C-alpha cells in the first residue's frame, strides 16, 4: 500500500500576482528549455480540445483546452483552458481569458489555479522572441506587428528586449487601435498592412483574421514571419518560403481550421517526416523542421541571409504548463497567492 498523502491545497493566484511574478522570469529561457525537453522526448503533449459556438448576436466564441506535461527533474503537469469571444473588445473586455491549472504528480489533484491570459500571451511572445533569436537575420532594424490587441503589446515588450536597436511599425484595420498602442510603446502605425510589412526583417502576425492577405512578394529578402495568428499568410507565401518551421507537427496536422492544417488536407503541405493526408497526393511543400529541432541543433535553421522564413506555431500546452510552474514557484517564494481547501 502506498503511504497516505497529505491533501494538497489549491494555490490560487490572481491576475496581479501572475503579472508581478512574470516580471521576475525569463520566459524565453523557459520556452527554450521546454522545447529542448520536447526534442528529448521528455514531454507529453496530447491533442487540443476545441469547442466553438456563436453568441446570441452571432459573434464567434470558442473554448480551447491544452493539456501537457514536462518531465525531468522538476515535472510540471497541467492544463490551460482559454476562452474567447470576438465581441468582448466591444464590451471593454479582453478578447480571451481562462484558467491554467497545475496538478500534483502523485495524487493528480489540482494544486494551483491562475488566470491564463497573461501566461498564454507571454509564452506566445517568448516563442516568437526565441524564433527571432534563432532564425532572424542579425541586427534586426524593423519589426512589423500586425494586429494591435493584448498579444501585440506583449510581443513588443519582449521583442524590444530581444532587438534593442529595432524600430516598430504597428498595423491594425482599426486605425485608432493601432495609433493608441503605437503611442504607448513609441512606435509608428498604419492601417495599410503592406506598408507595415515591406522592408521589415521580422513580421509578427497577431490578428484574428480567418482570411489570408499577406503575399510572398511583400516580404523583404531575409524576412522572418512569426505567424502566430495562423491565417494571415496566403498559401503561396507559405509554399514559397525558403524555410518553414512549426512547433509540433502532430498538433498542426490534427487541426483542420488553420491554414497549415487545411493545406495539408489539400496535399499542398507535406509533414517533416513525409507525412501526407492522402498518400495518393504528390508534390506539396514540405515542413522543414520543428522549432525543437532548431533548439536542439538537429536542424541548422537559416541557410542564407536572403532566405524568407515562416515560423508557424500552433500553440503547445506544455509551454503554458512550464511557464505556470515557474510562476507558481515564484509565488511560493514570495508568499503570493491564497491556499484553498476545496475537497
What pLDDT, in 10s, does the model give residues 217-248? Answer: 999 999 999 999 989 999 999 999 999 999 99
**Residue 81 confidence (pLDDT) above 90:** yes
Query: If you search the block for the grid coordinates 501572475, which residue do you land on?
Result: 18
Q: Give me the CATH code for the 10-119+318-332 domain, please.
A: 3.30.1780.10
Q: Is the pLDDT of residue 157 over 90?
A: yes
pLDDT score for 2: 54
Report the C-alpha gap between 191 and 327 in whole angstroms. 37
Burial per residue of 19-58, b for 16 or more beta-carbon CB atoms within 10 angstroms, e otherwise: ebbbeebebbebbbbbbebbbeebbebbebeeeeeeeeee
- Per-residue pLDDT at 313: 95
* Mean pLDDT of all residues in 152-178: 96
C-alpha cell at 52: 466553438
Contacts of 29 (CB under 8 A, 6+ apart): none
Residues forming CATH 3.30.1780.10 domain(s) in the chain: 10-119+318-332
Residue 1's pLDDT band, with cuts at 50, 70 and 90, is very low
Contact indicator for 61, 85 with CB cutoff of 8 Å? yes
Percent of the chain with pLDDT over 70: 98
Average pLDDT over residues 166-178: 95
Q: Which residue has the cell 490560487?
A: 12
**Could you tell me the end-to-end alpha-carbon distance of the chain, in angstroms, rounded to an integer?**
22
- Please give the pLDDT value at position 93: 87
Average per-residue pLDDT for the chain: 94
Cα 207-29-99 angle, rounded to 5 deg: 55
The residue among 101 and 281 whose pLDDT is bigger is 101
Strands 289-290 and 243-246: parallel
Instruction: Say if residue 292's pLDDT is above 60.
Output: yes
Residues 6+ apart with CB under 8 A from 336: 13, 17, 20, 21, 330
**CATH 3.30.470.20 is right for the domain spanning 121-316:** no
Residue scoring higher pLDDT (7 or 316): 316
Positions of CATH 3.40.50.720 in the chain: 121-316
Q: How many CA atoms lie within 13 A of 231 on its CB side?
A: 10
Kindly report, residue by residue over 7-65, the tens digit of the pLDDT.
668 999 999 999 999 999 999 999 999 999 999 999 999 999 999 999 999 999 999 99
Asked if residue 5 has pLDDT above 60, the reply is no
| CB-CB contact of 227 with 289 (8 Å) | no
Say what the pTM is.
Answer: 0.94
Confidence tier at 281 by pLDDT (50, 70, 90): confident
Query: What is the torsional sign of CA 181, 260, 202, 320?
Result: positive
pLDDT tens, residue by residue, 88-142: 988 888 888 999 999 999 999 999 999 999 999 999 999 999 999 999 999 999 9
Q: What per-residue confidence (pLDDT) applies to 341?
A: 86
Q: What is the pLDDT of residue 4?
A: 57
Amino acid at each position: 500500500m502506498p503511504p497516505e498523502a497529505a491533501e494538497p491545497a489549491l494555490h490560487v493566484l490572481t491576475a496581479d500576482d501572475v503579472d508581478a511574478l512574470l516580471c521576475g522570469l525569463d520566459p524565453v529561457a523557459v520556452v527554450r528549455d521546454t522545447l529542448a525537453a520536447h526534442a528529448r522526448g521528455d514531454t507529453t503533449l496530447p491533442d487540443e480540445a476545441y469547442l466553438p459556438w456563436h453568441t446570441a448576436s452571432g459573434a464567434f466564441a470558442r473554448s480551447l483546452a491544452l493539456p501537457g506535461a514536462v518531465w525531468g527533474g522538476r515535472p510540471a503537469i497541467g492544463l490551460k483552458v482559454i476562452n474567447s469571444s470576438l465581441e468582448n473588445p466591444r464590451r471593454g473586455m479582453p478578447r480571451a481569458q481562462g484558467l491554467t491549472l497545475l496538478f500534483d504528480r502523485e495524487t493528480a489533484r489540482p494544486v494551483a489555479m491562475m488566470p491564463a491570459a497573461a501566461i498564454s500571451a507571454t509564452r506566445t511572445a517568448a516563442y516568437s522572441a526565441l524564433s527571432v533569436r534563432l532564425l532572424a537575420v542579425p541586427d534586426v532594424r524593423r519589426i512589423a506587428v500586425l494586429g494591435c490587441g493584448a498579444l501585440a503589446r506583449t510581443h513588443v515588450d519582449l521583442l524590444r528586449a530581444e532587438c534593442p536597436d529595432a524600430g516598430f511599425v504597428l498595423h491594425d484595420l482599426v486605425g485608432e487601435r493601432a495609433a493608441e498602442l503605437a503611442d504607448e510603446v513609441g512606435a509608428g502605425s498604419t492601417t495599410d498592412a503592406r506598408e507595415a510589412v515591406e522592408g521589415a526583417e521580422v513580421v509578427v502576425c497577431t490578428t484574428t483574421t480567418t482570411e489570408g492577405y499577406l503575399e510572398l512578394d511583400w516580404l523583404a529578402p531575409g524576412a522572418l514571419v512569426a505567424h502566430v495568428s495562423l491565417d494571415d499568410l496566403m498559401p503561396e507565401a507559405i509554399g514559397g518560403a525558403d524555410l518553414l518551421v512549426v512547433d509540433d507537427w502532430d498538433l498542426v496536422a490534427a487541426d483542420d481550421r488553420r491554414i497549415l492544417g487545411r493545406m495539408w488536407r489539400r496535399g499542398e503541405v507535406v509533414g517533416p517526416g513525409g507525412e501526407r493526408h492522402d498518400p495518393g497526393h504528390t508534390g506539396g511543400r514540405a515542413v522543414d523542421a520543428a522549432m525543437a529541432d532548431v533548439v536542439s541543433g538537429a536542424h541548422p535553421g537559416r541557410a542564407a541571409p536572403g532566405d524568407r522564413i515562416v515560423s508557424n506555431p500552433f500553440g503547445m500546452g506544455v509551454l503554458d504548463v512550464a511557464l505556470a510552474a515557474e510562476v507558481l514557484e515564484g509565488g511560493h517564494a514570495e508568499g503570493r497567492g491564497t491556499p484553498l481547501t476545496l475537497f
